[in-house]
Amino acid sequence: MTALLDTLEGTLGGWGTTLLVGFVALAGLITVNAMFMVWFERKVAGWVQGRLGPMEHGPQGTLQTLLDVVKLLGKESIIPAQVDRKVFLLAPVVAFLPALAMLSLLPYDNNLTMTDVESGLLLVFAFGGVSLMGIFMGAWSSNNKFALLGGMRAVSQNIAYELPLLLSAMAVVLCAGSLNLGEIVAAQTGENGLWFIVMQPVALGIYLIAATAETNRAPFDIPEAESELVAGFHTEYTGMGFAVFFLAEYTYMFIVCGIGATLFLGGGDGPLLPGPVWFILKVYFLLFLMVMARWTYPRLRFDQLMNLAWKFLIPLSLINLLATAAVLKFVEVGS
Amino acid sequence: MVDLAFGFLIVVSLAGAVMAVALKKVFHNLIGFGLAILGSAGVTVILGAEFVALMQLLIFLGGIAIAMVFAVMMSTPREQDEEDRSPGRVLGAVGIGSGFMVVVGFLMLSGVFPAAGPQDDALFSAQHLGLLLLSDYALPFEAISLLLLAAILGSVIVARRSREDDDLPTEGVEGV
Amino acid sequence: MSQDSTNSAVPVPGRSVRPTGFGGAVRFMVRSMLTLFVGLKVTLKKLMGRKVTEQYPHEKPVMSGAFRSAIALVSFDDLNGTHDCIACDACELICPSYCITVRGDRLPDSKKKRATEFLVDFSTCSLCGLCLAVCPTETLKYSSGYDDAGYNRGWIHNLLEPYADDPEAPELLALLTARDEAKRAARKAARAAKEAPAAKPAPEAETTPANPAPEGSDG
């Protein structure tokens, strides 16, 4: 392994090696995560409803998703006649590509991050806007009423929930004193480090709600509300295009939970086990919460969704931010 | 390598800019706009101003481009052919655009830019920028805040009035 | 989550009325948020709880004795486990949907008739039970099979299929004769008991050996 890395470094240089190894690792992470999450989600859905979930292929049905993927790849990709061809084909790619960049920013361990950016936290949220464009491109180019309505809802929902998401993250940034994800983790570890879930429980709550809404997950899944909009923005997508949107959704879930684990749960901090394992465990704990929320709460109506964001979450996160700033100032003055 | 990336990003943003003005469908223009923003954000990163690039992505792509999406909703349906642009308008736009370019070019040529020092991350850090905004540039910062406040209040008033106009019950229908 | 669209102050039973004032609003908010955890508790309990799914092809449910499915022939112990269809055609004649076809023949060197073909088109059967009621030898029953499936309409079940390796004709004849004799003897004994002064009634067991209880095997 080391020999291989040395050869790589000889030919590509240090930066190229990081890029190559990182992208291979991330591609693996994306696929494995999506396959695991689909299985896990179906399993939890079954268990919550007193069923067993997938059982047929592999122990406890673990190979079910693999077979689903094979089936999906074999499906015919239908491009409807009246769509805007170029935009239609580009949309899934635009929706998915930012995920790769965002994943490369996550701190999987103290020093295990592919690109260490000074304001990594903001960059993650900035790329979110790009993927939103992808969703809307798909919605608009489909030339379908349901898709367009779904796209509209996705856009307005994302605008509304980006604010509380950022504001709750900002409260943590104030505590950590940095926008760098690695430094935020570092602020929670060490001698008298405390996970920010202790100092910022309100921010964690806001963050989880807003993150669920940002990823268009139930109970905020009105952009693809099956009962009203067929499948929302990806109504017209089949085969691979659909698969890429699907993959993007699960990757974004991983990303928001990864950020959540970094901000509130101390990233790779934990006893006994190595850092990356702790990080993955925390991420999947948050993902489990998201899945549970999906099978527990009914979907919000659109006006309820907007009211929740604008009238409740944003004021609350502003108050939280102000209170955090005030407390920090007092502590600073006091000491 | 860096020169190559720089050139590529310039080409991308120029192509995006051309798309943004030349194409006929408004959503295609919007995609071009997004592309131009992405390209120029990349250029900014190469120039070392990471934070500025971030803000460009966050505000222009995440905010303004997405807000424009709402305008796309009101535009002509896709299946209809667009009208040709009137030559007068095209000329006017070209005039305004080139005028702006001349002014900016003049400023760029006449102004003195301090040579970029050795990579100083602290200069572009969020902390440094924040301190600057609240000390040296406090007035412009406050002015912008005031402008935004006015805009928010204005939109609230507009929204309220249109709500009162139609006879939909506004009380009693409440969520959360 | 109050949806009090009438705006009346009268509390609706089972609904929380949204309180007024700032303190009330905050309390309402907190209470609403707590309800989220109530829901989560329910699903978590379910998550840990017992699963009710039956893994059908791998584990098959046991049907209750009262379950009625396609008709089948009863196997009798005293006939070496074979059926007792005498091809009397009673079931074929009474069947309201004409789904039974019975053919029979006499056993060699005997007057006893025996089914050679018992065909049922179960797709038209309405499970009315008339054939069971009319069967003189009580050799028809409801089976407990629930997963019969055919590839086309008019799929014919041959009820004699499980009895392919019946005893040879002479042996069978001997069994049937033996049973008839046992029956006759029982009847005679019963009559004798009846004609005798009714001091003590005949024991139950002597009057009933005509037909032993049907064995519970599927057709």
Q: Which two tokens stand for residue C86?
A: 């005498």
- Our CA-based measurement puts residue B168 at a distance from the nearest CA of chain C, in whole angstroms, of 13
The angle at the Cα of C48, spanning C42 to C52, to the nearest 5 degrees, equals: 95
* A120-141 vs B26-46: helix crossing angle, rounded to 10: 160
Report how far residue A93's alpha carbon sits from residue A108's, in angstroms, rounded to the nearest whole number. Answer: 25
Residues 6+ apart with CB under 8 A from B157: none
The answer to whether C4 contacts chain B (CB < 8 Å) is yes
Instruction: Indicate if C193 and C149 belong to the same structural domain.
Output: no
- CA distances to A140, C188, C197, C208 from C201, rounded to whole Å, are 93, 15, 9, 14
- Per residue in A81-105, pLDDT tens? 878 888 888 888 888 888 888 888 8
pLDDT of residue C94: 92
CATH code for the domain of C124:
3.30.70.3270
Q: Which of A123, A125, A148, A328 to probe by mutation at the B interface, max B CB count within 10 Å?
A: A123
Q: Which helix (H) or strand (E) holds A329?
A: helix A314-334
The answer to whether the bond into C96 is cis (omega within 30° of 0) is no
Confidence of residue A11 (pLDDT cuts 50, 70, 90): low
Report how far residue A292's alpha carbon sits from residue C181's, in angstroms, rounded to the nearest whole number. Answer: 73
Does residue A316 lie within any of the structural domains?
A: yes
Chains in contact with B, where contact means 3 or more Cβ–Cβ distances below 8 Å, are A, C
Does residue B85 lie within any of the structural domains?
A: no
Interface predicted TM-score (ipTM) of this complex, two decimals: 0.71
Torsion of CA A138, A139, A144, A146, to 10 degrees: 140
Q: Do C6 and B172 touch (CB under 8 A)?
A: yes
Report how far residue C174's alpha carbon sits from residue C191's, in angstroms, rounded to the nearest whole number. Answer: 26
Instruction: Indicate if C69 and C162 belong to the same structural domain.
Output: yes
User: If you count them, how many residues does chain B have?
Assistant: 176
Domain ranges, residue B63: 1-75
Domains: count for chain C: 2
Does residue C2 lie within any of the structural domains?
A: no
Q: Do A308 and B72 touch (CB under 8 A)?
A: no
Does residue A298 lie within any of the structural domains?
A: yes
Minimum CA–CA partner of A301 in chain B: B175
Instruction: Indicate if C162 and C104 belong to the same structural domain.
Output: yes
Q: Do B172 and C5 touch (CB under 8 A)?
A: yes
What count of other Cβ atoms lies within 10 Å of the Cβ of residue A161? 27
- CA distances to A129, A139, B154 from A133, rounded to whole Å, are 6, 10, 27
The position carrying tokens 């609706």 is C12
Domains: count for chain A: 1
Does residue C14 lie within any of the structural domains?
A: no
The number of CA neighbours under 13 Å toward the Cβ of A204 is: 17
Contact B66/A129 with Cβ under 8 angstroms?
yes
Q: Mean pLDDT, to the nearest integer, of C52-75?
A: 84
pLDDT of residue C147: 80
Q: Mean pLDDT, to the nearest integer, of B79-108?
A: 83
Report how far residue A51's alpha carbon sits from residue A49's, in angstroms, rounded to the nearest whole number. Answer: 5
Does residue B129 lie within any of the structural domains?
A: yes
Q: Is the pLDDT of residue C1 over 50?
A: no
The answer to whether B19 contacts chain A (CB < 8 Å) is no
- Per residue in C76-120, pLDDT tens? 887 777 888 888 889 999 999 988 899 888 887 778 888 888 888
- Chain B residues whose C-beta is within 8 A of a chain C C-beta are 171-174, 176
- Our CA-based measurement puts residue B62 at a distance from the nearest CA of chain A, in whole angstroms, of 4
Provide, rounded to the nearest whole percent, the portion of chain C with pLDDT above 90: 3
Q: Which two tokens stand for residue A11?
A: 């030919």
Instruction: Indicate if C137 and C195 belong to the same structural domain.
Output: no
Report how far residue B102's alpha carbon sits from residue B94's, in angstroms, rounded to the nearest whole number. Answer: 12
Domains: count for chain B: 2
Instruction: Indicate if B67 and B5 belong to the same structural domain.
Output: yes
Domain ranges, residue C89: 62-166
| Chain C residues close to A285, C-beta within 8 Å | none
Q: Do B175 and A308 touch (CB under 8 A)?
A: yes
Does residue C200 lie within any of the structural domains?
A: yes
| Chain B residues close to A123, C-beta within 8 Å | 54, 57
Give me the residues paired with residue C82 across strands.
Answer: C76
Confidence of residue B149 (pLDDT cuts 50, 70, 90): very high
Does residue C196 lie within any of the structural domains?
A: yes
Provide, rounded to the nearest whole percent, the portion of chain B with pLDDT above 70: 77
Does residue C45 lie within any of the structural domains?
A: no
| B148: three-class secondary structure by DSSP | helix
Does residue B17 lie within any of the structural domains?
A: yes
Instruction: Indicate if C126 and C186 belong to the same structural domain.
Output: no
Contact A83/A140 with Cβ under 8 angstroms?
no
Domain boundary residue, one of B75, B110, B130? B75
| A279: three-class secondary structure by DSSP | helix
The answer to whether C8 contacts chain B (CB < 8 Å) is no
Q: Which of C1, C3, C7 sits opposite B171 (nearest CB)?
A: C7
| Interface contacts (A, C; CB < 8 Å) | 36
> Among the listed ranges A185-194, C14-23, C159-168, which one has the minimum average pLDDT value?
C14-23
pLDDT of residue C218: 46
Let me know if A7 is exposed, middle or buried by CB neighbors in 10 A (0-12, 13-18, 19+). Answer: exposed
More confident residue, C129 or C18: C129
The angle at the Cα of A261, spanning A258 to A264, to the nearest 5 degrees, equals: 145
Report how far residue B84's alpha carbon sits from residue B70's, in angstroms, rounded to the nearest whole number. Answer: 23
Q: Is the pLDDT of residue B100 over 90?
A: yes
Q: Do B62 and A301 touch (CB under 8 A)?
A: no
Mean pLDDT for chain C overall: 78
Mean pLDDT for chain A overall: 83
Torsion of CA A94, A100, A103, A104, to 10 degrees: -130
pLDDT of residue B147: 94
The position carrying tokens 């700033």 is A325
Q: Do C50 and A47 touch (CB under 8 A)?
A: no
Does residue C157 lie within any of the structural domains?
A: yes
| CA end-to-end distance (rounded Å), chain C | 59
| Chain C residues close to B171, C-beta within 8 Å | 7
Q: Which helix (H) or strand (E) holds A277?
A: helix A275-296
Domain ranges, residue A116: 80-328
Q: Do C5 and B176 touch (CB under 8 A)?
A: no
Q: Is the pLDDT of residue A58 over 50?
A: yes
Q: Do A50 and C55 touch (CB under 8 A)?
A: no
Interface of C with B in 32-91 (CB under 8 A): 32
pLDDT of residue C164: 76
Confidence of residue C215 (pLDDT cuts 50, 70, 90): very low
Q: Is the pLDDT of residue B93 over 90?
A: no
pLDDT of residue B167: 52
Does residue C156 lie within any of the structural domains?
A: yes
| Chain A residues close to C42, C-beta within 8 Å | 296
Minimum CA–CA partner of A313 in chain C: C29
Q: Do B62 and A126 touch (CB under 8 A)?
A: yes
Instruction: Indicate if C74 and C149 belong to the same structural domain.
Output: yes
Give me the residues paired with residue C202 across strands.
Answer: none
Q: Mean pLDDT, to the nearest integer, of B15-22?
A: 85
- Our CA-based measurement puts residue B29 at a distance from the nearest CA of chain A, in whole angstroms, of 12
Provide, rounded to the nearest whole percent, the portion of chain A with pLDDT above 70: 93
Q: Do A308 and B176 touch (CB under 8 A)?
A: yes
| C110: three-class secondary structure by DSSP | coil
Instruction: Indicate if C71 and C111 belong to the same structural domain.
Output: yes
Confidence of residue B81 (pLDDT cuts 50, 70, 90): low
Confidence of residue C17 (pLDDT cuts 50, 70, 90): low
- Chain A residues whose C-beta is within 8 A of a chain C C-beta are 44, 46-52, 55, 292-293, 295-297, 312
Confidence of residue C13 (pLDDT cuts 50, 70, 90): low
Domain boundary residue, one of B42, B75, B108? B75
